[in-house]
Amino acid sequence: MDIQRRLFLKLMAALASLIPCKAVSRVFAANPLTKPDAHQNSALVIIAQRSGAVKPEGTLDTKVISSMVSSSLCRLTGASVISDAWRNLFKPSEIVGIKVNAVGGPGICTHPSLVYVIARQLLNAGIPEHHIVIWDRLSNELERGGYTIQRSGSGIRCFGTDNDYERKIETAGSIGSCFSRIIASCDALINIPVLKDHDLSGVSLGLKNFYGAIHNPNKYHDNHCDPFIADLNTHPYIKNKLRLTIIDGLRAQYNGGPACKQQWQWTFAGLILSRDPVAVDAIGTAIIEKKRQEQGLSSLADSNRPPLHIHTAALRGLGTDNTNAILQVQV
């Protein structure tokens, strides 16, 4: 079914019971103390680095990128071929949303070449093109980042929420927000953030990338965005649909983020994958911290922007941040 058609049908079904956003809410509890050992469970994180992934002029070698994705995902899922790996995660009947990060523009944006490699692999695994939607907050930011907007017709969908939010306020812990109709309509999610730091939350990786799914992220930046990022990720739209996080570290940024600051960027030439959204952010943070140390900069905590939300997310039962329980595999 066409993504736009599906969005329309969901909207029509909801109209009978909708009243203005401020008056209606659904509450999803975010227990700050789940099982005491909930953040100690093991997790697998795959890191793929290839020196040839990023060409000297800054463009990507899509053949190398495709190989990186294939080898990583096969190792993550245990499949022998990439089509089986994708089929282990998604069904042809599902609408698969690929959440990117385009807010930084072409200088620090999820690379379109990477995203379209992933979309083509999904197609080859049997996911219909009209069941794949690449999305973020705004269509003009996606265009500025190098994406082609396509809302209907043949081809993979790509468009922004563009102020098209559900009218019901969804509440999860400290969060009260209207969600993008795109994420509400999707059956499953792939999250592809950028490997970069953030001036308030310490890092802007997978967990924080879903600030682009709600209408009011500006409300949730106090106390280094904690516990807001973690609570947001407990909502069923995210927690129950997220199947895979792939951190785009082909070009990364260790200081001055989240805006593009080329003087603090480097070619990590890598991808970081996991089905555990907390573990992958913990490893991404460690990579940024190592680069900061190499460049003579203080740690994120000593710079008064500790990434508190990662441990809070572990306490919420979303995954593990215990590095001793994270198996890192290089492929």
CB 295 within 8 A of CB 303: no
Q: What is the residue type of 95?
A: I
Sign of CA pseudo-dihedral 164, 167, 171, 177: positive
User: Which pLDDT score is estimated for 153?
Assistant: 87
User: Which pLDDT score is estimated for 41?
Assistant: 67
User: Which pLDDT score is estimated for 316?
Assistant: 98
pLDDT at 26 over 80: no
| Confidence label for 29 from pLDDT (cuts 50, 70 and 90) | low
| Confidence label for 176 from pLDDT (cuts 50, 70 and 90) | very high
Let me know how many helices (H) and strands (E) the chain has, helices first.
Answer: 11, 14
Which residue in 21, 32, 24 sits closest to 312, CA to CA? 32
Which residue in 26, 28, 1, 60 sits closest to 239, CA to CA? 28
> What is the tens place of the pLDDT at every residue in 139-174?
999 999 999 999 988 899 999 999 999 999 999 999
- Residues contacting 259, CB < 8 A, separation 6+: 104, 108
Q: What is the residue type of 63?
A: K
End-to-end Cα separation, the chain, in angstroms: 36
User: Domains (ranges, CATH) in the chain?
Assistant: 3-14+28-330 (3.40.50.11440)
- If you average pLDDT over residues 298-307, what whole number do you get? 98
**3-class SS of residue 149:** coil
Q: Give backbone dihedrals phi and psi of 276, rounded to 5 degrees, phi first.
A: -100, 110
pLDDT at 39 over 80: no
Range 2-11, long-range pairs (CB < 8 A, 24+ positions):
2/130, 2/152, 3/95, 3/130, 3/131, 3/133, 3/157, 3/182, 3/185, 4/151, 4/152, 4/157, 6/95, 6/185, 7/164, 7/181, 7/182, 7/185, 10/181, 10/184, 10/185, 11/181
Query: Is the omega angle on the peptide bond into residue 112 within 30 degrees of 0, that is, cis?
Result: no
**What proportion of the chain, given as a percentage, has pLDDT over 90?**
84
Which residue in 166, 113, 156, 154 sits closest to 135, CA to CA? 156
User: Which pLDDT score is estimated for 172?
Assistant: 97
pLDDT at 186 over 60: yes
User: Which pLDDT score is estimated for 58?
Assistant: 87
DSSP state letters, 9-51: HHHHHHHTT---GGG-EEEE---SS--TTGGGS-EEEEEEE-T
Rounded Cα–Cα distance for residues 176 and 166 (Å): 12
216 vs 40 pLDDT, higher one: 216
> What is the tens place of the pLDDT at every residue in 99-144?
999 998 889 999 999 999 999 999 999 999 999 999 999 999 999 9
